[in-house]
Chains A and B, each alone.
Chain A
Amino acid sequence: MAALPILVILFYLFTPSEQVWSHLAATVLPGYITNSLVLMISVGAGTLVLGTGTAWLVTMTSFAGRRFFEWALIMPLAIPAYVIAFTYTGLLEYSGPVQMVLRDFFGWHSSADYWFPRIRSLPGAAIMMVLVFYPYVYMLARAAFLEQSVSVLDAARTLGRSARGTFFHIALPLARPAIVGGLALALMETLNDFGTVEFFAVDTFVTGIYRTWLNLGEPETAAQLGAILMLFVLALVLLERWSRKSKVSHTIGTYKNLPRYRLSRFKATAAGVFCMTPVFFGFLVPVAAMVVWTVQSREYLDTTFARMAATSISLSGITALAAVSVAVILAYGQRLAPAKGNFLAVRVATMGYALPGAVIALGIIIPFTFVDNLVDSLARQYFNHATGLILTGTWAALIFACVVRFLAVSFNTVESSMARVTPAMDGVSRTLGMSAARTLMRVHGPIMRPSLLTAAVLVFVDVMKELPATFMMRPFGLHTLAIRSYELASDGLIRESSGSSLAIVCAGIIPVIILSLMISGSRPGNKTRKPEPL
């Protein structure tokens, strides 16, 4: 069922529409592809360096402020990419405060007098995305470093490896599956981003899908573009799986407090600066700007705003619960019947994360309205009664869309957590006469509880930020903070939009804090309980 919208889109691969294709291929398609690839490579490189580097520093070395950075480094995750894009545009554009101060200081009169980098550009978009997506890599890399057995690292050092050598030759390869997992998440976010690239005038595959669908009026071709994007993502996912397979079993269960490298004063300062950079630019600066602008435009914080906040929280909460439940069912099903077919089905069902929200919306609206209209005509025919639209434009449909979109987030967390429950435990439970369902409730449930919470929290934050699917599938009168923020910002009212943006960020921060506490507590051998982070 969760795979339905995805299959609908894939189905369109087989409906021909050559004339539109030749037009696209001759004009805009090469640009879409190049831009998407360049964006992915830049964001990939940026998040890798920033995410892995900071994770290693805060986990394995000691410098002033390390404890602060442990959780502060996750904070940018609370900011949606489009919000940070709005904010930096507000700050750095010609009429923004930065250029204004520069002009006053140097006595320049117009943009012809000086050069200033254009924020609305492909590099600008890449920087924005690195700033908010690197925490994916950071979180997973940090969790992986925490899980590494001291014995392995000790052995490396006893055998004469330097700190750097240990990092590059031991820790990094061991953590590779986790890092690649984080990278895959960051890249999927990059691929399906719409708000940022549209605002920055960068034509990517996703903006191309929108344009083909809504401006050219060719939904079939748009769905085909979506299908191609999906195949590409599937390749990414398989790559990530494949890299996980080569994981070496190394944990021999010797845990004690991690020995940290002592850093010289210079290096410690450098480490502090390195960790401060993403926190500063990815969180402190945009949040400060938003706070100031919110105060300046406080008349926008009215009762409507409160209602939107309630709607956002409600929608995110319900979706989070639903997504976790579905994830548990999928993961457990895969565990009970680990056939190749099941594996593929699960992969397909969790691909929604890499898809632009609008494509998912398209994949849901088409079959839902079809079923609705079919049921309606049958009812009219046989019972002389119109049922109307049962599914389309309801909360249920919207929640379904959000679940499809974010299932991968909850599933990955649940799956890796479930992998921790050894098959022997299942065996024992089943031998003792428990049914599969009861085993899930009584054995897996308690063990996995922290991970389930993590999964729910991650989905919650993602739905708070979600824009395109909500925008297109919502029922009458449903407004979320994200929609408000986007409507105002795209109308040029960046300052006025910051109230809603700030609320999204605030909602995102609380779960992020919980998350970071849980990762710290996740080290095996730690006194506190040990959840598996994403």
Chain B
Amino acid sequence: MKPSIFLTLFALMIVPALASTATSHAAEVNIYSARQEHLIKPLLDTFTQQTGIRYRLLTGKGPALLERLKNEGRNSPADVLITVDVGNLVAAKQAGVLQPVSSQILDHNIPSHYRDDDGFWYGLSARSRVIFYAKDRVDPARVDTWEKLAEPALGYRVCVRSSSNIYNQSLMAAMIAHHGEEKALDWAFGLVKNFGRKPQDNDTGQIRAVAAGECDVAIANTYYYARLMASADPADQQVVEKVALLWPNQAGRGTHMNLSGAGIARSAKHVDAALALIEFLSGETAQAFYSAQNNEYPVNPAVPSSGIVSEMGDFKADTLNLSDIEKHSSQAIRLMDRAGWR
């Protein structure tokens, strides 16, 4: 290769690098988001259209973003942290990387049990973790609580994803909160004994495994099932036909809930824009989007859940304060390690 060609190539390569660093807008908001880009970008674009506030987005796994925030300290460019679970929000508050805000709009849009008492974080969509079973071979009455899934004489094979997954950690933390450490560990041991296969894949994979006959019962969040219901793929429709959704613990405390949410970074340089974004996300447009596009439950009581989500019906939710659940989260992982839940 001749040097001149080499230089040209180099120049071509360096242009996007320079272009991307030269950005500075008056009205902008910098977002660290655990929600994946293709799921949140449409909402953010609408936000920019409505308010004129530009955004910059960095996606990643919740814990990694939190770690980055901690390291960057007061100089972090982040204004908003968006997570898909409440555990990372609570951890962020404890790590001191969030700042409290108060807003009448937020207080009006979001019920108090879906936001932090001190205003450090706000829930934006509710997600329910439930039990799925094979219609043709499982008696739903025998699997209608989380506790029953761990019974030695269950006789059904349970599929669930890895304990590295935050939803499982929150579920385990909830078990600790309700039953205490010792009983929760027994529960985990029992559950692991009933596993139909080594935990793997995501929640959709668990539901598919039930349809495929690898397992009889699966643990997953509702919106994964909703996604299958909405799919035009005949294979997905078959799965929905074979597998039914069950709301656990309806006779007792209600089913385990989780939240996606957001908080304003302590280092935020654009607090007003950040607040405007969170308010927008709690508003009717965004809440309807969460329900219609992501099949989650709106936290805003003024927004009814739409389409497929409403087809899945009403249920009783566990009202135990999510902050109380999350204080057990690091213990939860250790117990799952001990129980052999990979």
| Residues of A participating in the B interface, judged by any CB pair closer than 8 Å | 23-24, 26-28, 31, 94-95, 109-113, 118, 120, 200-201, 203, 207, 210-211, 213-217, 219, 307, 310-311, 313-315, 317-318, 321, 365-366, 369, 372-373, 376, 386, 388-389, 392-395, 453, 471-472, 474-479, 487-488, 490-492
Contact = CB atoms under 8 A, between A and B. Distances in A.
Contacts of A211: 164
A112 B38 contact: no
B20 A475 contact: yes
A394 B68 CA distance: 13
Q: When A and B form their complex, which 3 residue pairs have the shortest distance between CB atoms, in order from nearest?
A: A110-B213, A201-B200, A214-B63
Given A28-B337, A217-B91, A317-B9, A94 B17 contact: no
Given A203-B342, A317-B13, A318-B14, 7 more contacts: A120-B200, A214-B64, A313-B13, A314-B16, A321-B10, A369-B73, A389-B77
A392 B72 contact: yes
Contacts of B213: 109-113
B106 interface: no
A366 B71 CA distance: 7
Contacts of A478: 20
B21 A394 contact: yes
B58 A215 contact: no
Contacts of B63: 213-215, 217
Contacts of A31: 342
B57 interface: yes
Interface of B: 1, 9-10, 13-17, 20-21, 23, 30, 36-38, 56-61, 63-64, 67-68, 71-77, 91, 162, 164, 169, 197-202, 204-205, 208-209, 212-214, 235, 330, 333-334, 337-338, 340, 342
B212 A111 contact: yes
A393 B72 CA distance: 9
Contacts of A201: 162, 198-201, 342
Contact of A492 (B1, B72, B198, B202): B202
5 contacts: A111-B214, A369-B71, A372-B75, A394-B21, A476-B30
Contacts of A394: 21
Contact of B338 (A27, A216, A474, A487): A27
Contacts of A118: 197
B342 to A, nearest CB: 6
A477 B56 contact: yes
Nearest to B57: A477
Contacts of B212: 94-95, 110-111
A230 B1 CA distance: 37
Contact of A95 (B23, B198, B208, B333): B208
Contacts of A214: 61, 63-64, 67
A148 B235 CA distance: 56
A365 B68 contact: yes
A74 to B, nearest CB: 20
A94 B159 CA distance: 15
B41 to A, nearest CB: 8
B204 A395 contact: no
A228 B228 CA distance: 44
Nearest to A490: B202
